Amino acid sequence: MSLKGKHVLITGSSRGIGRGIALKLAEQGAKIAVHYFQNEKAAKETLAEIRKLGSDGFVLQADVTRIEEVEKLFAKVKREFGKLDIFVANARPETPQFFAPPMEITLAQWDAAFNSQAKGFLVSLREAAALMASGGRIIAMAYHGGSRTGGLLPWVGMGSAKAAMESLVRYFAVALAVRGITVNAISPGWTEDSVLNSLPTEVQEMIRNWHQRGWTPMRRLGTPEDIGNVVAMFCSEQSAWITGQIICADGGSSLMNPEMPTEMQM
């Protein structure tokens, strides 16, 4: 599959999952707008890797919790690229900005989650669609588990915001279908080089060991490259008949039954 001639914006693409997506699409010939919030060095390193793959792009900065900056982000993409073929909404605030349980979360933390995911995605959908022709692809990074469950209490802000994002995927999939633009979401399971790595070391190892013992049937965590492969699949011409879907890319962990011991399920 070739994406030569395609222009892509991936928010939060300087590191982690976003970087994995950027490199996978660049590998297939797409030009990439590499977005970052604070780590300009990482963004430039990602762009350098994109150029090593024979593609190109540019770096741009924005705080996705501020709607006026989201609008400026797309204005710069329009100036640099003139159009947009693929938009991947991947950015989120750093964990302390939203990580608090229901009875303690502040409105500022709640707003950080919703402005970046729900409200920011609403604005981004409109801005991206305005730059797209038929065949455009809009992909959101969801978290299906966090939007459907309630056990990890400090995730209430982001989980609720991701649930709203998933709903927007369905509404805009219908609204943009007549223009030949698809809107889908990918829900990664636990992934290396992601939010996992911001947790205490002992917590990281606990999660890895649990998944390697079988909670993920493939017995490993995902990688940014794994998620990049799924995004690339959605960007292909062959995916034009898929829209409004939430795809769990988690090695099968979403298939496990939480009410039964892992040892009884394998």
pLDDT 10s digits, 212-259? 988 899 999 999 999 999 999 999 999 999 999 999 999 999 998 888
Flag whether pLDDT at 118 surpasses 80.
yes
**Residue 71 maps to a domain:** yes
Q: Name the pLDDT band for 152 (thresholds 50, 70, 90).
A: confident
Residue 50 domain-assigned?
Answer: yes
Please give the residue range of the domain that contains residue 185: 7-194+224-252
pLDDT at 1: 72
Of 154-163, 204-213, 234-243, give the lowest mean pLDDT range.
204-213
What confidence score (pLDDT) does residue 37 get? 95
Please report whether residue 208 resides in a domain: no
Inter-CA distances, 124 with 11, 58, 76, 156, 184, Å: 10, 19, 13, 23, 14
Tokens describing residue 193 = 């080089």
pLDDT for position 203: 84
Backbone dihedral region for residue 148 (phi beyond 0: left; psi -120 to 50: alpha; all else: beta): alpha
Is the residue at 63 inside a domain?
A: yes
What pLDDT does residue 174 have? 98
Residue 235: per-residue pLDDT? 97
- pLDDT 10s digits, 15-30: 999 999 999 999 999 9
Domain membership of residue 130 (yes or no) is yes
Query: What digits encode the pLDDT tens for the residues 54-85?
Result: 999 999 999 998 999 999 999 999 999 999 99
User: What pTM was computed for the model?
Assistant: 0.95
User: Does 149 have pLDDT greater than 90?
Assistant: no
Per the model's pLDDT, the better-predicted residue between 211 and 11 turns out to be 11
Find tokens 């999939």 and name the residue. 173
Residue 49 in this model has a pLDDT that exceeds 90: yes
Is residue 211 a part of any domain in this protein? no
- Segment 37-50 shows an average pLDDT of 97
Q: Residue 118 has what DSSP assignment?
A: I
**218 touches 251 (CB < 8 A):** yes
Look at residue 206 and tell me if it is in a domain. Answer: no
Q: What sign results for the dihedral spanned by CA atoms 51, 55, 59, 65?
A: negative
Tokens of 168: 């927007």
Predicted pLDDT at 144: 76
Which CATH number does the domain housing residue 147 bear?
3.40.50.720
Give yes or no for residue 199 having a pLDDT over 80. Answer: no
- Catalogue the E-assigned strands of 118-216: 137-141, 182-188
Please count the structural domains in the chain. Answer: 1
**Residue 202 placed within a domain:** no
